[in-house]
Amino acid sequence: MAPGTLLVAAPGLLDPHFRRTVIYIIEHRDRGTLGVVLNRPSEVTVRDVLPSWAPLSSQPPAVFVGGPVESETALCLAAVRTGQDPSRVDGLITVRGPVALVDLDSDPAAIAPNLRGLRVFAGYSGWDAGQLAGEIARGDWIVVPAIPDDVLARHDARLWGHVLRRQGMPLSLLATYPLDLRNN
């Protein structure tokens, strides 16, 4: 699995931290995997916690809940403008293609001309070596390619179905899976 891949929670994954989530993989190495949940906006705005970065934040300007690990830690993903190389911009660390991690200690004004937008996450999702492979083999996650707009688009509960629908058959059929079978 490569950085820039999406993990889409399978319909049967009922863990409240990950139910109906879409996770963007930032790092995948022998020692483990790190990613952030793309579709869990919080009530906290970027302006509340990182005011100097707020003008660059994509809509909605919320801090997203990246996962249950280190929820007091902020991670930031950005997409650079067409023609820009994130590896050539101080304060950015390339994840895949135009998507990069942002060093939040950098000067936002220096980075701003290179960015299409950014998203701030509180916490992250992490797996130890072999743990994620086991969850995928068990059927908890569906691994699909990401597009750069996945990081920036207005995300809410509909992202899960949107990502599945664009995969084509048979995965697109999962997008019609009812939210809660017990209440139907």
What tokens does 80 get?
A: 């650079």
Write the pLDDT tens digit of every residue in 10-43: 988 888 889 999 999 999 998 999 999 999 999 9
Strand partners, 79: 99, 117
Q: Is the pLDDT of residue 184 over 80?
A: no
CA–CA separation, 27 vs 137, rounded Å? 19
Q: What percent of the chain has pLDDT over 70?
A: 94
In whole numbers, what is the pLDDT of the chain averaged over residues?
90
What tokens does 118 get?
A: 């950014």
Q: What percent of the chain has pLDDT over 90?
A: 70
When pLDDT is cut at 50, 70 and 90, the band that residue 1 belongs to is confident
**At residue 88, what are phi and psi to the nearest 5 degrees?**
-100, 5
The CB-based long-range contact list for 13-17 (8 Å cut-off, 24+ gap) reads 13/140, 13/141, 17/67, 17/68, 17/125
Sorted by sequence, the CB contacts under 8 Å of residue 148 that are 6+ apart come out as 79, 97, 98, 99
CA–CA separation, 152 vs 127, rounded Å? 24
CA–CA separation, 77 vs 75, rounded Å? 7
Output the pTM of the full model: 0.91
**Residue whose C-alpha is closest to residue 73's, from 100, 36, 47, 107:** 36
What is the identity of the amino acid at 151? Answer: V
Q: Is the pLDDT of residue 172 over 80?
A: no
